Amino acid sequence: MPETTTAADPVPARTTRPLAGLVGGLVRGVADRMATPLRSDDYLGLLDPLWSARSLRGRIVEVVPETEDAVTLVIEPGRGWTPGHRPGQYVGIGVQVEGRWVWRSYSITSPPQRGRHRISITVKAMPEGRLSGHLVRGVGPGTVVRLALPQGGFVLPDPPPAKVLFWTGGSGVTPVMAMLRTLDRRGTMPDVVHVVSAPSRDRCIFGDELRDLAAAHPGLRLVERYDDVDGVFDPAGLDEVCADWREREVWACGPAPLLAAAEAHWAAAGLADRLHVERFAVERSATAEGGRVTFARSGRTVDADGATSLLEAGERAGVPMPFGCRMGTCHTCVIPLAEGRARDLRNGNEYHADQGVQTCITAAAGDCTVDA
């Protein structure tokens, strides 16, 4: 899931009044010179932490427990945020943990609303997740975070298909929840079957709300499958719970085994083009040699092993790094490799100097320098 002009720090929107923009820029420039060695933003930040032209920020205004290991964080974005995300998109969030900014991306679970700037994300604490555990148990209302603008193509078209199938597992329900809330708000629920899988009924995120939505909309049919009672749901069971699954446009999100099973099942049926998937983590099958990574523009260096991505290495060194999905899908994090070699952690492909590399899924293959 930076303090450069990237997706993590959007350029403030240009005014439609050139003269007003020029005057504002002159005033800010004078204020910055008067504030030297700081900037005017630094003093304004003392009055309102959400005010910054250099980084997009937000404030957590509410923490809502969902299950024993998941919470919903309601966030009020600050200056630079543009309302109107598409249901199913994700947002990058940066939080200070032990003095360092740690970034991850989470699906927005709130529907888009005109005139309202608050959004929500729902986070499940993962055993290996450094930030997820902190967000679930270590933050409260008033916490200021950094934000990246919404991204992602795991979205419903507008208007939605006449027949839809959602298959979600665990926290994979989060992007679909935004879609269902949007359809509910519009009052235009199509023919939807939602197969929701979870370890147990009490650990089903949004379980009560999903049942309420199904009760309120005749077009929405909820199929609940819990591992402790029903076993892990297999797509072979679709014929029983959704006999017309071949006729439906499908959105699947969940753990890697669920998505692998879905891809194999729809491919075998010759219907791969009907399946849309959303992954929350990159599957790494390769390693690199590791080495000393130099960040040319910032002048910083860090030693990284062969399993540490260049993005993670940069964040450890305190270097502002662009990123989006953190798993190689969106290409937001591409930067030039100035010297040395890097290796793709998914397939072992090697990159050399003067090539652009996706920092979230490449690691140092010996000493290297990147343009960051």
For 197-234, give the DSSP string.
EESSGGG-TTHHHHHHHHHH-TTEEEEEEEHHHH-S--
| pTM of the predicted model as reported, rounded to 2 decimal places | 0.78
Is the pLDDT at 167 greater than 90? The verdict is yes
Residues 245 and 266 in one domain: yes
**Residue 203, pLDDT score:** 96
Other CB atoms within 10 A of residue 127 CB: 7
Region 178-196: mean pLDDT is 96
Question: How many domains does the chain fold into?
Answer: 3
- Which CA distances in Å does 146 have to 41, 155, 179, 290, 322? 15, 24, 25, 29, 13
Q: What is the CATH number of the domain that holds 225?
A: 3.40.50.80
Residues 271 and 298 in one domain: no
Q: What is the CATH number of the domain that holds 325?
A: 3.10.20.30
More confident residue, 295 or 33: 295
Contact 88, 156 (CB under 8 A): yes
The owner of tokens 């309102």 is: 48
For 4, the token pair is 């450069």
Region 34-63: mean pLDDT is 65
Region 210-239: mean pLDDT is 96
Residues 272 and 188 in one domain: yes
Region 219-227: mean pLDDT is 97
**Domain termination residue (choose one: 123, 147, 171):** 147
Residues 250 and 305 in one domain: no
Portion of the chain with pLDDT greater than 90, in percent: 66
Angle (deg, nearest 10), helices 40-47 and 18-35: 90
Write down the mean pLDDT value for the chain: 86
Please report whether residue 349 resides in a domain: yes
For 159, the token pair is 């208007």
More confident residue, 224 or 22: 224
Please report whether residue 210 resides in a domain: yes
Provide the domain limits for residue 117: 50-147
Is the pLDDT at 257 greater than 90? The verdict is yes
Q: What is the CATH number of the domain that holds 114?
A: 2.40.30.10
**Domain termination residue (choose one: 278, 311, 331):** 278
Contact 68, 203 (CB under 8 A): yes
Please report whether residue 32 resides in a domain: no
Q: Give tens-digit pLDDT for 309-346.
A: 999 999 888 888 888 788 887 888 999 999 999 999 98
- In terms of Cβ atoms closer than 10 Å to its own Cβ (0-12, 13-18, 19+), residue 5 is middle
Residues comprising the chain, all counted: 372
Three-state secondary-structure class, residue 102:
strand
